[in-house]
């Protein structure tokens, strides 16, 4: 193999410009979905629920600490939660919440 070419958007380049990087740029990308299953009820009775929105909030906080507590500060990595989906009404605690995440390991060489 003599060469590999890849294309990707890069928000730091001015519009109309094309950048070329002659080494490795991105190392790995993984996408995953987390389903949190609880027990819904009316918002006036949260004590009888297993609130997946509350659980999702705690999980999001913990996920954001993965990089800062597991990756050397001199290395680079990113975990992004790009979508949180749960509930259909303002006064109902839902039965489930879905989190969509993107995990990118960035290794500039």
Note the pLDDT tens digit of each residue in 10-23.
Answer: 777 888 887 777 76
Q: For position 109, what pLDDT does the model report?
A: 43
Better pLDDT: 8 or 54: 54
∠51-53-59 over CA atoms, to 5°?
Answer: 110
Q: Which residues is 32 bridged to in the sheet? A: 101
* Mean pLDDT in residue range 20-32: 69
Average pLDDT estimate for 50-77: 90
Q: Are 5 and 22 in contact (CB under 8 A)?
A: no
**Cα separation, 106 vs 109, whole angstroms:** 10
Yes or no: say if 91 and 43 are a contact pair by the CB < 8 Å rule. Answer: yes
pLDDT at 98: 96
Best CA proximity match to 54, nearest among 36, 41, 42, 79: 36
């Amino acid at each position: 193999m003599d060469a590999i070419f890849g294309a990707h958007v890069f928000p730091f380049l001015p519009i109309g410009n094309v950048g070329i990087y002659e080494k490795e740029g991105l190392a790995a990308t993984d996408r995953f979905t987390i389903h949190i299953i609880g027990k819904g009820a009316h918002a006036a009775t949260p004590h009888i629920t297993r609130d997946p929105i509350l659980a999702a909030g705690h999980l999001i906080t913990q996920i954001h600490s993965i990089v800062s507590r597991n990756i050397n500060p001199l290395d680079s990595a990113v975990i992004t939660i790009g979508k949180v989906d749960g509930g259909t009404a303002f006064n109902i605690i839902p039965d489930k919440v879905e989190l969509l995440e993107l995990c990118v390991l960035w290794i500039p060489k």
